[in-house]
Chain A
Amino acid sequence: MDANKKPRINKGNPSNGGKLPIALITPSMLIIFGVLIFPIVYSLILSFNNLVLKDNTLEWVGLKNYIDMFADANWRFSVKQTLIFTVISVFCEIVIGVAIALVLNKEFKGRGFVRGIMILPWALPGVVNAIMWKWIFNANYGAFNALMTQLGFIDKYQAWLATPRSAFICVLVANIWKETPYVVLLTIAALANIDKGLYEAASIDGAGGWKSFWTITLPLIKPVLLILLITKTIWALQTYDLVYLMTAGGPMGYTEFLTYMIQKTSFKYLKWGYGSAMAFTLSIICFIMTIIYIKVFMGDDGSKRSSRRKKGGNV
C-alpha cells in the first residue's frame, strides 16, 4: 500500500543488528514451533496410523484412513453440508455487511452510537451466541415462536431445531448475526479512506448512486472484501460452537459440520488416526480456498501482493 513510506532502517545491513534480531524472535519461534508446527506434523503422521486403545500405541495403516474417508458417505455428506453452510454464510455476511456499512456511512444523528453497537455481536463469546439463539428458537417457549404467533405468521409453536432444513437455517441465522458486524466494521473503515472528490466528479459526469457504487466504491473496497472473504470462509468452515450447542449435529446429520464430526470421531469414538485424516483434509480445504480467492480476486499480478497481506485475524 505505502511500500515506499515503509521504514527501511537497517534493512539489508545485517551486521547492524548482529545476533540480536535472531535472539529477539527465538522465544516466539520456539513457541510457534511447539504449539503449531510440531502438532500439525504430528497430526499428519497420526493420519497414517490407527490408535490401538489397549496399549495406547500407534499402528501404521498407510493411506487407509484417507481411503476410508472418501468411501464414507457420512463424511461426504458432512463435507457437502459444511460447504453449503459456508457459501451461504459468507455470501450473506458480505452482502448484508456491505449494505449495512453503506447505510452507516451516511450522515445521521447518533451515528457513532449505532456504529458502536455493531461491536456487540463480534465481542460476544461464541458459546453465549449459541445458547442465546437456542433459547430464541426454543420449541415451547422461544421468543421466535412467540413473535411469529403474535404477528400471525404461524398458528402454533414450531420445533424449529427439530427438522433438518429449518435447523440448518436457524444455525445459519445465528452465525450470520454474529459474523456480519465484523464485515460492517471493516467496510466502514475502508469506506472512510475513499476520496469524496471521486463521487463528486462522478456525479458531475451524471453517474447515479448505484453506478458510482459499482465503479468507485466496489473496486476501492475490493482488497478489504478479499480479506473478509478469506477469513470468513476459513472461520465458517470451522463452525463448531453453534452446532455443538444448538443441534448437536442433528437432525439427521444436517448440521454435522466437519469440525463437529472430527471432534466426535476423535474424542467420542477415539479414532484418532481417522480424525486426523479428516482434520488434515480440512486444513487443505482451507488452504485451497485461500489460494482460489487470491487468484480470482487479485488476478495474476495481485497474487504476490495479496499473499503478503492476507491477514485478517480469526476474530
Chain B
Amino acid sequence: MSRKAKKRLGRVVLYLLVILIVIVTVAPFAWMVISSLSTKQELLQKPLHWLPQHPTLENYKAMLHGTSGKTTDAAAQFLSSFKNSLTVTAIVTVISLAVGLIAAYSFSRFKFRGHDTLMNSILFTQMIPAVAIIIPMYSILSNMGLLNTKAGLVITYLSFVLPYMIWLMKGYIDGIPTDLEEAAMVDGCSRIRSFFIIVLPVAATGLAATIIFAFILSWNEFFFALNFTSTAVSKTLPVLLTDFSSKFGANYIMACTAGVLASLPPVLIALIFQRFIISGLSQGAVKG
C-alpha cells in the first residue's frame, strides 16, 4: 500500500515539475504576445492585470499599415524590413544549399588529397567568433560598395551558414549506404544521374532539416546586420526591432508587436518541423 502511495506521490511531483517547466518556458513569450494585444492604458495600470480586459489588434494594424503616433518611422519600415529579411534569408539558403550539397557529397564519397585537413578546417571555422571577422568584412564590403545592400549581407551570412550546412549534409550523406549507387553505376548509370535519383531522394529529410537551420540562422542574425545595414533598402527585421526600443523613445507595445511578428516565421517553422530539427540537432552534434 505504502508503495502505491509513494508511486502516486511520484506522479504528482512529476506533473508539478512538468507544469513548472511549461510555465517557465512559455510565460515570457506569452507576456510579449499579451502586451502586443493590449492597449497602452491597460498595460501601464498598477496593479497590473495579467489578462487584458479589452484585447485589441490595433497594434498589429498600425504595424502593418505603418501609422502609429510616435513610431511612424519604424512602423513604416516594417514591411520593407520583413521583405529584406526574407530576401536575404532565401538567397543565403539557396546558395549554401546548392554549393554546400555538392561539396558535402564530395567529402562524403571521395577520398582525395587534403580531404581530412579541409574537413577539419571547416569544423575549425565554426569556432571563429563573428566579431573576429566583422572588421575585415566591413572593410571588404565597403571597398566593394556593398555596405547597406542585401548582397553584402548575403555574402557575410555565407560565412556561418555554408560551413554548418556542409557539415550537416555530409553527415546525412554518410548515412546513406553506397550499395545502391554502386549497383546503379554498374548498370551504366552515370554518377550525376545516380546522385539525383538515389542520393537526393534518400537525403531529402536531412536536406529539409538543413534548410530549416539555414533559414533560422540567417533570419535571426543581428550582429552583422546591425553594423552593415542602416538604410531602409537593406535593414533586416532584427535591426528594425532595435528602433522600436531605442531610437524613437522606448515604445514597448510596438516593440512587442514587431517582436511577435518577427518571431512568427522561425517559431512556426520550428514548431511545424520539430521532428526534422531534433534529428538534425543530434545529427549535427553527435555524428561525424
Contact residue among B156, B220, B238 (Cβ-Cβ distance under 8 Å from A35): B156
Interface residues of B in 96-141 (CB under 8 A from A): 99-100, 102-103, 105-113, 118, 120, 122-123, 125-140
Across the A-B interface, give the 5 residue pairs with the lowest CB-CB distance, nearest first: A123-B270, A24-B106, A21-B110, A9-B178, A146-B48
A143–B122 alpha-carbon span in the complex (Å): 44
Chain B residues packing against A (C-beta within 8 Å) = 11, 14-15, 17-18, 21-22, 24-26, 28-29, 31-32, 35, 43-44, 46-48, 99-100, 102-103, 105-113, 118, 120, 122-123, 125-140, 155-156, 158-160, 162-164, 166-168, 174, 176-178, 181-182, 191, 213, 216-217, 219-220, 222-223, 226-227, 237-238, 241-242, 244-246, 252, 255-256, 259, 262-263, 266-267, 269-271, 274, 277-279, 281-282, 284-288
**Given A11-B111, A27-B103, A186 and B129 contact (CB-CB distance below 8 Å):** no
List A contacts of B219 (CB < 8 A): 125
Query: Min CB distance, A61 to chain B, in Å?
Result: 16
Whether B238 contacts A126 by the Cβ 8 Å rule is yes
Q: Judging by beta carbons under 8 Å apart, are A126 and B278 in contact?
A: no
- Whether B270 contacts A120 by the Cβ 8 Å rule is yes
Map CB proximity to B onto A264-281 as digits: 1 under 8 Å, 0 otherwise: 001100001001100110
- Which residue of the partner chain, among B99, B133, B281, B286, contacts A43 with CB atoms under 8 Å? B133
Q: Which of B135, B267, B271, B285 makes the CB contact (< 8 A) with A275?
A: B135
| Inter-chain CB contacts under 8 Å: number | 321
Bound complex: CA A311 to CA B286 (Å): 8
A residues near B28, Cβ cutoff 8 Å: 132-133, 136, 177
Q: Of A146, A190, A282, which contacts B132 at CB under 8 A?
A: A282
Q: Which of A286-315 contact B (CB under 8 A)?
A: 286-287, 290, 307-315
Query: Which residue from B31, B182, B213 sits with its C-beta under 8 Å from A143?
Result: B31
Asked if A128 meets B262 with Cβ closer than 8 Å, knowing A36-B128, A46-B135, A312-B284, the reply is yes
Whether the Cβ atoms of B103 and A25 lie closer than 8 Å is yes
